[in-house]
């Protein structure tokens, strides 16, 4: 998890560089248009950090549990595994054979994503905790703000062309954006801690570590 945390912090540093540039532009006359566009770009970067961090965490979970025999998995992991292997009738025979040969296992996240869409452009605190609950990962206490929801909604409106980069975040001050970034980073850091706890205690197993 150390690498995941380092990568998250590296992306966060890039966001901070952009935020500092926004602060500089706010102090200069005639820079409203440039500042407005960069503010929207920052929201995109914040969302990218959220999705990249969460994807990396679940990628590690799948890679870790992939080598475990089905019978030794927790009930949470078994449900994820069977949902993947039996959600499409065309795979039924192939996977029944795997059960009989005791080779059924949790797939790597890349393979899992080819059949089941875990998330795509829809991550906020509520969604992350909903996915965590399915895996049996400890729930990350919400920040008490709607900042991550704002990031998700702005990202989607910008990505789908519903709002322009010029207009979308014009009303936010650098102070607003700083608070949004801080709450997103805080939630992600605590989420990483919970995933690390999940992995260290081997909570994906039927008999986790004490």
The per-residue pLDDT for range 77-97, each reduced to its tens digit, is: 988 988 887 776 665 556 665
* Residue range 125-181, pLDDT digits in tens: 999 999 999 999 999 998 888 999 999 999 999 999 999 999 999 899 999 999 999
If pLDDT is split at 50, 70 and 90, which confidence band does 46 have?
very high
pLDDT for the residue numbered 147: 94
If pLDDT is split at 50, 70 and 90, which confidence band does 99 have?
low
pTM: 0.89
From residue 59, alpha-carbon distances to 8, 109, 126 in Å are 15, 5, 20
Provide the Cα torsion 113, 118, 196, 192; round to 10°.
120
């Amino acid at each position: 998890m150390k690498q995941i945390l380092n990568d998250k912090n590296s992306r966060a540093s890039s966001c901070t560089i952009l935020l500092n540039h926004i602060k500089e532009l706010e102090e200069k006359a005639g820079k409203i248009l440039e500042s407005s566009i960069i503010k929207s770009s920052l929201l995109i970067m914040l969302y990218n950090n959220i999705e990249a961090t969460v994807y990396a965490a679940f990628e590690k979970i799948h890679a870790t549990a992939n080598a475990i025999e089905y019978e030794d998995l927790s009930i949470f992991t078994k449900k994820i595994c069977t949902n993947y292997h039996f959600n499409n009738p065309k795979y039924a025979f192939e996977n029944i054979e795997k059960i009989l040969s005791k080779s059924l296992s949790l797939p790597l996240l890349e393979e899992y994503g080819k059949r089941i869409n875990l998330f795509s452009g829809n991550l906020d605190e509520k969604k992350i905790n909903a996915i965590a609950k399915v895996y049996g990962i400890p729930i990350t206490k919400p920040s008490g703000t709607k900042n991550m929801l704002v990031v998700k909604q702005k990202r989607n409106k910008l990505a789908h062309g519903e709002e322009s980069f010029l207009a979308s975040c014009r009303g936010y001050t650098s102070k607003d954006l700083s608070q949004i970034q801080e709450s997103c980073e805080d939630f992600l850091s605590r989420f990483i801690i919970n995933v690390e706890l999940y992995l260290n205690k081997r909570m994906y197993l039927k008999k986790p570590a004490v």
